[in-house]
Amino acid sequence: MSHHLRVNPITCEAHGMCHELLPERIDLDEWGYPLFDSRPLEPELLDHARRAAQACPTFALLIEREKKPGRA
Amino acid sequence: MIPAAMLAAEPQPTHATAGAELPRLLSSSAPDRATTLEEHLAAHGELAPPRRRGRETGLIAEIDHAGLRGRGGAGFPTARKLRAVAASRKKPVVVLNATEGEPASRKDATLVTSVPHLGLDGAVLAARALGADEVIVAVCETAGESIDALARAIAERGTERHGPRIELRPTPPGYLAGQESALISHLNGGPGLPRFLGPMPFERGVGGRPTMLSNVETYSHIGLIGRHGADWFRELGTDTEPGSALVTISGVVADEGVYEIEWGTRLRALVQAAGGMTAAPRAALLGGYGGTWVGAEHLAELSLSDAALARHGASLGAGVIFLLDGAACPVAETARIVRWMADQSAHQCGPCANGLPALAGELEQLTHGVPAPAAPQRIEALAALVRRRGACGHPDGVSRMALSAIATFPDEFHDHAARGRCEACSAPSRLPLGAIRR
């Protein structure tokens, strides 16, 4: 089973906590919004990713078990 | 409205027969008014009477065999959408989307003001196939003619025994009002803005029910497939893209307007049907404002099928074909479209709300008086930065269009970066930009 990062772009307010807690995988763009790729999370980063998701003030960072289409 | 033209594909597709004729969707249209129910039935024949109970699932198999794809822009196979909705045990609802947010598109308005009953037939057939008892017809609140035509058509039909209830619902104006999740949110009494999380419409959409939402042209094709079948539908078009489609052609053609084409038709046949060129084109914008610029050198041999257009990174999308004249400035035209699209953003997602105005600003730099040598590179970087980072596909479309402009007009971008504005930069916009709405 693989885990992927996903962000809810509507609720994300560019607090940047995710980058602080998971710099290995999350960069910030020039406006402070997270940038990451869709590769599965390395198992050793999974706990850090979970902490980053919990620390997000708007709970916009999501960790998903399988890649789902991002569009409704 | 311009009469629909008969446009055969060349080379002849394998399925073409002597009986396959155009127009299909617009065959019963009268000049400048909507056909009545009586005229519609005289032209197309009655629908088979509905069953008293149970779902008419045979229609879904027929649509599948026909190979019908959605005509709202995304081209999703219609039968797959119907099957996904049908898989639910709850009673579904059918939504006919005639909101038509694309400023350069008139095909949906043409359908509802000329042949409103055809789309309603298709929606009713879809409702029967799904066991739905409600059809919602969504149309922009500012489109008075369309609202009048649909209201009259719905009233004419009355209530069919065992048939669905048909309800007309005006929607707010704007490019994104017809975006699937935005439209469902509006119909549920919420803001008409795209959503990100939550169930897919086929699971839980309008009123929490499984929702079959499609474009009015898609339902109009269903209205014909329900009568004539899949084999008839496939007599036109190509093996992979069967049937016909409506397009709106504008720019340097004598008779701008809506035409029905066979998939695979040459662009030059469409141009001929539209009275020929009034000037030499510099390029075509295909699909819509989130579409793709294709340079004039490719236009003579261009076939209007997504398979052929894919070679140019383009698709027919919502059927918009705009031919830009050589005297216009393509950089300024692109800048104006991007600014308009930036203003149409729902401003919900940071990368779109920030990125599209920044992209528009860089393009406007090129059309101002001073050289902006770094602008083209910055435009490419911004276009890449916004892609796939919104809740909906809005930034992706703007990104695609802007990148295709740089690829199609490299000399113009280079000259504007080196020397600033050109003489044509301040000419009036060739494209309709409508009122800016937020």
Residue-averaged pLDDT of chain B = 92
Res A69: pLDDT = 52
The predicted model gives A4-17 an average pLDDT of 97
B381 touches chain A (CB under 8 A): no
Q: How far away is chain B from the Cα of A42, in angstroms, using its nearest Cα?
A: 22
Q: Hey, are the CB atoms on A9 and B195 less than 8 Å from each other?
A: no
Q: What is the residue-averaged pLDDT of chain A?
A: 92
Backbone angles phi, psi at B140, to 5 degrees: -65, 135
Does residue A37 belong to the interface with chain B, where contact is any CB pair within 8 Å? no
Write down the pLDDT at residue B357: 98
CATH topology identical between B244-322 and B330-426: no
B274 is written with which tokens? 């539209």
Residues B231-240 as b/e (b if ≥16 CB within 10 A, e otherwise) read ebbbbbbbee
Q: Which of A66, A65, A50 is nearest to A17 (CA)?
A: A50
- Top CATH class, B37-233: alpha beta
Res B17: pLDDT? 40
pLDDT in tens, B33-62: 999 999 999 999 999 888 777 777 799 999
Nearest chain B Cα distance for residue A19, angstroms: 16
| Interface contact A33-B351, CB threshold 8 A | yes
- Domain coordinates of chain A in residue numbers? 4-64
**Residue B347: what residue type?**
H
Per DSSP, the three-state class of B95 is strand
Q: Is A67 an 8 Å CB contact of chain B? A: no
The string of pLDDT tens digits covering residues B176-216 is 999 999 999 999 999 999 999 888 999 999 999 999 999 99
CATH fold group of domain A4-64: Alpha-Beta Plaits (3.30.70)
Report CB contact under 8 Å: B348, A9. yes
CATH class of the domain whose range is B244-322 = alpha beta
Q: What are phi and psi of A69, to 5 degrees?
A: -60, 135
Length of chain B: 438
Q: Cβ contact (<8 Å) for B351 and A9?
A: yes
Q: What is the mean pLDDT of residues A37-56?
A: 95
CATH architecture of the domain formed by B330-426: Up-down Bundle (1.20)
Question: Does A14 lie at the interface with B, CB-CB under 8 angstroms?
Answer: yes
Backbone angles phi, psi at B180, to 5 degrees: -50, -55
Instruction: Give chain A positions within 8 Å (CB) of B359.
Output: none
| Side-chain-facing half-sphere of B211: CA atoms under 13 Å | 24
Q: Measured between alpha carbons, how far is B228 from B68 in angstroms, rounded to an integer?
A: 14
Alpha helices in A1-72 (DSSP H): 17-21, 46-55
**B182 touching chain A per CB within 8 A:** no
**Cα nearest neighbour of A38 on chain B:** B388
Q: What is residue B266's three-state secondary structure? A: strand
Whether residue B388 lies within 8 A of chain A, CB to CB, comes out as: yes
Output phi, psi for B303, to 5 deg: -100, 140
Give 3-state DSSP helix, strand, coil % of chain A, rounded to 5. Answer: 25, 15, 60
How distant is the Cα of A1 from the closest Cα of chain B, in angstroms? 22
Domain ranges, ordered by start, for chain B? 37-233, 244-322, 330-426
All residues of chain B having their beta carbon less than 8 Å from the beta carbon of residue A9 are 196, 348-352, 389-391
Question: Which residue in B389, B392, B399 has the most chain A C-beta atoms within 10 A of its own C-beta, making it the best mutation to test that interface?
Answer: B389
Record: contact B391-A71, CB cut-off 8 A = yes
CB A5 within 8 A of CB A62: yes
Residue of A nearest to B198 (CA): A72
- pLDDT recorded at residue B356: 98
pLDDT exceeds cutoff 90 at A47: yes
Q: Which residues of chain B have pLDDT under 50?
A: 1-19, 436-438
ipTM of this predicted structure: 0.91
Contacts of A14 in chain B (CB under 8 A): 350
CB contact under 8 Å between B350 and A71, yes or no, is no
